[in-house]
Amino acid sequence: MTRLLAPPLPPGCPWSSFTPPNVDWCEEELCAWIVNPADTWSNLVYVALGLWMWRAARGRSDLRLFGPAGVAVGVFSFAYHASYTWALQFLDFVGMFLFCFTVLARNASRLGWIAPQREARFFALGVAGASALVPVLFELGVPIQLTVALCIAVALGQEAWLRRSPGVPPLPRSYWLGLALLGAAALCSLLDVTRVACDPSNHWLQGHAAWHVLSALALLALFRFYATLPAPAQR
């Protein structure tokens, strides 16, 4: 298999000497320092909501990773879409893994798979392992975005397993809102990359930019869900 690469930038552009990413979203590439404006600036929603979660998590050790992970998602994705490069796309995946394993580690502790004091280690090893797979999948030509979909599927499976225990209350509205927003975000991104709904010249509104905004709101809704759970005993 050969590497999947998006079309290169024209020679002489600020980022043209770098390897392009593995996917070409709808928005046309500009010969500028910010190659895809809509897909770039929309990441500020992650940063803003990440900072809010960071502040809201004060005093809750079980929620302390949500805010920094949300900020990292926004900063890394901003850099990737501004540059249209594989090198910074790698960081974009790292950012997504940071948030995914924030949820996966929290759920692993809730399920009793790991002791609460090992949650940070589980998180770090998970992010490191998933990130190490990214360049391997890139070289093999495997769509790396599937790894994020797998993480989401595992998180959903964890929550479904937790619901099997007797006496567990039904999932609150915030969880279902998060799933609905995530589904809407995925649909917008799919319509974008398949060119079903696509205006390349629109640098204000794009389907993938909508993914950023809606998925950032989904992360906030999931944070609010985890905030409703009882805080674990102090470690």
The answer to whether residue 23 sits within a structural domain is no
pLDDT at 130 over 90: yes
The answer to whether residue 147 sits within a structural domain is yes
What six digits make up the tokens of 186?
Answer: 């995925």
pTM beyond 0.85: the answer is: yes
Task: Write out pLDDT tens, residues 160-197.
Answer: 998 887 777 889 999 999 999 999 999 999 999 999 99
The answer to whether residue 115 sits within a structural domain is yes
The answer to whether residue 181 sits within a structural domain is yes
The answer to whether residue 9 sits within a structural domain is no
pLDDT at 233 over 70: no
Write the DSSP symbol of residue 196.
S
| Mean pLDDT of the 33-55 span | 97
The answer to whether residue 24 sits within a structural domain is no
Cβ of 146: how many Cβ atoms within 10 Å?
A: 10
| Mean pLDDT of the 51-64 span | 92
The answer to whether residue 30 sits within a structural domain is no
Task: State the amino acid at position 147 in one-letter form.
Answer: T
The answer to whether residue 148 sits within a structural domain is yes
What six digits make up the tokens of 48?
Answer: 């803003």
Domain that holds residue 224: 37-162+172-228
Q: How far apart are CA 41 and CA 227, in angstroms?
A: 28
| pLDDT band at 2; cut points 50, 70, 90 | low
pLDDT attached to residue 103: 94
Nearest to 46 by CA among 160, 161, 204, 213: 213
How many structural domains compose the chain? Answer: 1
